Amino acid sequence: MNSWGNLSLQNSLSPLMEQLMFFHNHSMLIIIMITILIGYMMNSLLFNKFTNRLLLESQNIEIIWTIIPAITLFFIALPSLRLLYLLDDLCSPLITLKTIGHQWYWSYEYTDFFNVEFDSYMIPTNELPLNHFRLLEVDNRIILPLNSQIRILITATDVLHSWTIPALGIKVDATPGRLNQSNFLINRPGLMFGQCSEICGANHSFMPIVIECISIKSFIKWISSI
């Protein structure tokens, strides 16, 4: 999760988030190169003593500043399209998790396991243990297995919500009357925190999401005990 001194993206816990971070770094490198080039050109224009009152057009310059941006966009568009198709690619899921947004909490259903379901509320500050995170901890965490393809179905019962886990690169709108779908694979165990990312009312800031990733054996033991 983010700490006070972290100005960059969160550490990735899924292959999709790793690809998103690679694309972010790739794009930022191109943007920095463009910024340096434009800065150099502006500095040259402002501080040189050359003038040409009769220069009205130049076909060479027109060709250059048309081709160079086209090539730049090509190098950005290709990785972007590849990543877009990777995000939409749905492999055969091992587990399906249904998420329902409410004002202002989340409810979850494990439809593959005799419809195991529970509600997940934020723990109030006055009830929070000392070693837990304020405004981020919930009473019932989502428990998911490691290295397993997870399909998530998302909807809402009242207004628009958005189910977001930055460390997994997942952000899906929860729309009343509509079932949205996404998928992810968690490749490291641990806790992942998220929050509703669509303004949904007075308590929009108080409906966090917590995923606890554990081994397959521990997951089977947990699901059998419910």
Please tell me the number of Cα atoms within 13 Å of 161 on its side-chain side: 31
Residue 65 within a domain: yes
pLDDT digits (tens, 9 = 90+) for 124-141: 888 888 888 888 899 889
Q: 54, 70, 88: which is the final residue of a domain?
A: 88
Number of folded domains that form the chain: 2
Give the C-alpha separation, 55 to 77, whole Å.
35
Domain of residue 63: give its range. Answer: 15-88
- Alpha-carbon distances of 35 from 2, 26, 29, 38, 182, rounded to whole Å: 28, 15, 10, 5, 36
Where do runs of H (alpha helix) occur along the chain? 15-47, 59-88, 216-225
Q: What is the pTM of this model?
A: 0.79
Q: If you compute the radius of gyration of the chain from its CA atoms, what whole number of angstroms results? A: 24
Q: 63, 88, 113: which is the final residue of a domain?
A: 88
Give the C-alpha separation, 13 to 10, whole Å.
9
Report how far Cα 151 is from the mean position of its chain's Cα atoms: 16
Q: Looking at the structure, do residues 82 and 135 belong to the same domain, yes or no? A: no
pLDDT digits (tens, 9 = 90+) for 188-224: 888 889 999 989 888 898 999 999 999 999 988 888 8
- The mean predicted confidence, pLDDT, of the chain is 88
Secondary structure element (H or E) that encloses residue 150, with its range:
strand 149-156
